[in-house]
Amino acid sequence: MSPSTDILSEKDLKYLRQAIEISADARKHGQHPFGCIIVDENDKVVTTAENQVPSGDASQHAELRAVSIITKLKDAQTLGNCTLYTSTEPCVMCSGAIVWSGIGRIVFGLSNESLNKLAKLNPKNWYITMNTKEIAERASRPVQVLGPFIEDEAVIPHDHFWD
């Protein structure tokens, strides 16, 4: 996936960098390096989450954890005005959950294509080669997907992680 031609605002870059910081924290906590943040229409951070997959539950991706939290706090109509910022493009499972939750906008750093190039270095890492934009395009309601952005920054928490 080539870098996005979309332009992000300074606010978007701020939140995307926060998601990348969360991914670095996840790695420091012994987790896989993924993090996300959900911001509402009033520019308020509603929730943040880091990956918890090494806990033994494969569904504990950062995005799924954040979606689980926010759907208990806000209704689907309100979620349409929220943005999920994530350090790395959401996987198929997380993309589906984001779409079904009602969240209206996704902004990501590292693309799945770039991540898969790193992850395939270790045969124990499984992945699916389908991107978030494909899933959003097939959704029955509009979901804006923007990315990849600042991949040079988003890749840092993954440095030598997948070796």
Q: Which among 51, 32, 35, 12 is positioned nearest to 154, based on CA atoms?
A: 35
Which of 10, 21, 41, 63 is catalytic? The answer is: 63
By CB atoms closer than 10 A (0-12, 13-18, 19+), residue 1 is middle
DSSP string covering 55-114, please? GS-TT--HHHHHHHHHHHHS-HHHHTT-EEEEEE---HHHHHHHHHHT--EEEEEE-HHH
Q: Is 10 one of the catalytic residues?
A: no
How does DSSP classify residue 142?
Answer: -
Residues tagged active-site: 63
